[in-house]
Each structure stands twice: as C-alpha cells, then as structure tokens.
Amino acid sequence: MSTTTANQTLNRLTVIVALQWMGATLGLPLLPLFLEHRGGTPTVIGFIMAAFFVAGVATQFALGHLADRFGRRPILMASLVVYGVASMTYLLPVAAPWYALTRGFQGAAAGAIEVASLSAVSALFPESERGRAVSRIMAAQLLGIAIGPVAGVVASVRTLGWAFFVTGVISLLAAVQTSRISLGDVVDTSRPLPKLQWTPQVLGSLTAASATGIAIGVYEACWSLLMHAHHASTLQIRLSWTLFSIPWVAMSRAGGWLADHANRRVTAFLGLLNVAFFLSLYPHIHSNVALLFLGSLESIGTSLSMPSISSLLTQGAESRELGRRQGLYATANTASLAVAASVSGYLFTINEALPFTVMAIVSALLTLTTLAWWRDVRGHVVAARAEGAIT
C-alpha cells in the first residue's frame, strides 16, 4: 500500500474510532440511573455493568484470531453493526436484567473494534512509523470519550434510550464508512496462520497491559466516589474525565514521535511508573481543583508512553499475527480492569485510600517485572525509509 493510501486510511479510521467512542459515551454517565428507573437493584446494576467487561474478556482473543484469519475489515464492520443494533435496544420497554444482554453484546463489539483498528494500523505502517500511527487511534478514542459525555448532557434519564439510539445510528454509519477502506488485510485461508510467538517481548507487553488495566479498574469503581467524598460537585466530577482526556489528545503526536525515535522500553517503563505514582497520590489530595490538575498531569505522562507500549507489542510480528497479539493485550487489560474494579469497590468501603494504595503497589510491582521481560528487546527501531509516512 502506498504512503498516500495508508495515510488516507489512517485518517478515515481515526474518524470512525472517534465517532464510535463519542457515541458509546453519550449516555454512559446516566446509565446506572436509567437501569434503576427500569427496576434494577444495585446488585443487578452492578451485574449489568460487569457484563460489558466479561464479554470483552471472553471474546477479544477469539475475535483477534478471526481478524487474522478472515481480515480486519469484516470484523470491524460486523462489530460496528452489532454495537449499533445493541445500542438501539435501550428503547425496548423491558426490565433492567434484560439489558445485561445488551451490555454483553456491546462489550464484545467494543473489544473487537479496538483489536481490529489497532492491528490494522500496525499492518499499514512499518515499525519505524507505527508509534505515530497508533497514537492517532488512541487520541481518537480519548477525543470521543471527552466529547461524548458533554454532548450527552442534553439527555435526561427518561430520554436516555434515544441517546443510545443515536449511538446506534452513529455506529451503523461508521460501519458503512469502514466498507469503503482497506485495512491492510492479507487473507489466505488456504494457509494456516503463523504460530503465535510467546516471546519475553510479548509477555512484557501483556504485563504492561495488566498494570494499566488495574489502574483503570480503580478509577472505574472509585474515582467518582473519591471526589464525592471530597465534596466535589457533579460538574467537577464530569470535568475530571474531560480534563484527563484533553491533554492526552493534545500530546498524542509527541507520544507517537517518542515511540518512533526514543527508546521504547524506557518510555514505556517510565509511563507505567507514572500511572502507579499518581494512583497512590490521589487519595491524599483533598483539594478537588488540585485533583483536576493532577489528573491532567497524569494524562500527559500516559499519552507519551502508551504508543511505545503498543509498538513493543507488535514489534517483529507477522501481519497475520497482529490480530491475536492485540486480542491478547486487550484481554489482559480488560481482565485486570474487571478484577481491580471488583476488589476496589470493597476496599473503598473499608478506607477511601485503600484501593488506590493497594492497586498502586500491585501496578508498580508488575511494572518492575517488565525490566526483566524487555531486557533483551530492541528499544530503538531503525527507519524503514528516509521519509516518514505519517502526516
């Protein structure tokens, strides 16, 4: 694929990912209240919310395998369609427990969208340019997350079903757009897939995925509770998520540049330590304004390192192995997120600082093990050609 075509594909894929994540987060902040309005108890609501992550863990590697076997475009298209149709079911007049099926289908589809889009980018660009390309996709995700909750503020609990219907329409439109682009697929069902390489490089990347997933799990379960305990307003809680996303989007190009020009191992390691450090710090800060500011600082450090982690995951992989590697990464990340979220909720009832401190220690210990996993991995990648392809 030519440089121009690869860039055009990346631009379109970036728009698709941003729109999908924007749609996915339109009504998410009010979803627990919506489920309560449909008769859901706290236990049932927790089960429904968990179904999203359970479905992701159960399907992400299998869907990565299918992407390697049959191509990334059909998997991405099918996932967008499934997510769109599932989102529209929030308009159905059913009791809350039925929405566990909706969240399950959404979780499986969202996982497949992530796996297919990131493996496509890895296939389209050489290793020396992959960091910048991956950073564009990650920035698109965070941009959608930043815009979605703000755009969805016009929806009330009673009209939330229509907000999710709009999400479904956006997802279906993204599927149509996906049908018009090439994602670097190399499909040859007559040949078996290359064997998945369980190298220290891959195992280190999966460890990094778990370290970041643990931190995200704490934030999913306890961040809003922590800010509420510090008497934060609803606006401040909403702003905390937006102010985390915006610096990530702004610094994404710098993170991609570091992945392609600096030592990926060092950048990834420092970024993982950054996550653990801020996780341990937050419960001891009692100013909500300071929490907003610190969240933005953490976001900058994370945005500068995540492209390096993703690039290390796919470095040296064959094209028809990329989907499975991304599937393994997403599975490790989602599984650790789900476990951390479950444990953190209980720890928070004992002491508000406990989940942040315990999970920061676990995340830091996992981070330290990457020094051993990656000790013989190339940190620098030699450019494949003189001129960069990313614009």
DSSP state of 387: S
Structural contact between residues 55 and 334, judged by C-beta atoms closer than 8 angstroms:
no
What gap in Å lies between CA 209 and CA 201, rounded to an integer? 12
The tokens describing 184, both together, are 């670097």
Comparing CA positions, the residue from 386, 389, 337, 331 lying closest to residue 363 is 337
Predicted pLDDT of residue 29: 67
Predicted pLDDT of residue 16: 85
What gap in Å lies between CA 352 and CA 341, rounded to an integer? 14
Domains of the chain in start order, with CATH, are 1-184 (1.20.1250.20), 193-378 (1.20.1250.20)
C-alpha pair distances (Å), 246 with each of 34, 249, 273, 285, 329: 28, 5, 21, 22, 24
Structural contact between residues 61 and 55, judged by C-beta atoms closer than 8 angstroms:
no
What gap in Å lies between CA 97 and CA 103, rounded to an integer? 10
What gap in Å lies between CA 134 and CA 117, rounded to an integer? 9
**DSSP characters for 224-255?**
HHHHHHTT--HHHHHHHHHHHHHHHHHHHHHH
pTM of the model: 0.85
Predicted pLDDT of residue 189: 66
Predicted pLDDT of residue 372: 95
The tokens describing 151, both together, are 């755009």
Three-point CA angle 144, 150, 155, nearest 5°? 115
What gap in Å lies between CA 82 and CA 102, rounded to an integer? 10
Q: Per-residue confidence of the chain (391 residues) as pLDDT tens digits?
A: 566 778 888 888 888 888 888 877 777 767 777 888 888 886 787 788 788 888 988 999 999 989 888 888 999 999 999 999 999 999 999 998 999 999 999 999 988 998 998 888 888 888 888 888 889 998 888 888 888 777 766 777 788 888 889 889 988 988 998 888 877 776 666 678 888 888 999 999 999 999 999 998 888 888 878 887 888 876 777 778 778 888 888 898 899 999 999 999 999 999 999 999 999 999 999 888 898 889 999 999 999 999 999 999 998 888 888 899 999 999 999 999 988 988 888 888 899 899 999 999 999 999 999 999 999 998 887 654 434 455 5
What angle in degrees, to the nearest 10, is found between the helix axes of 127-151 and 3-25? 30
DSSP state of 388: -
Structural contact between residues 282 and 294, judged by C-beta atoms closer than 8 angstroms:
yes
Angular region, 39: left φ>0, alpha ψ -120 to 50, beta rest: left
Structural contact between residues 65 and 192, judged by C-beta atoms closer than 8 angstroms:
no
Predicted pLDDT of residue 382: 67
SS (H, E, C) 155-216: CCCCCHHHHHHHHHHHHHHHHHHHCCCCCCCCCCCCCCCCCCCCCHHHHHHHHHHHHHHHHH
Predicted pLDDT of residue 362: 96
Predicted pLDDT of residue 387: 40
DSSP state of 26: S
Q: Number of C-alpha atoms within 13 angstroms, CB side, residue 190?
A: 0
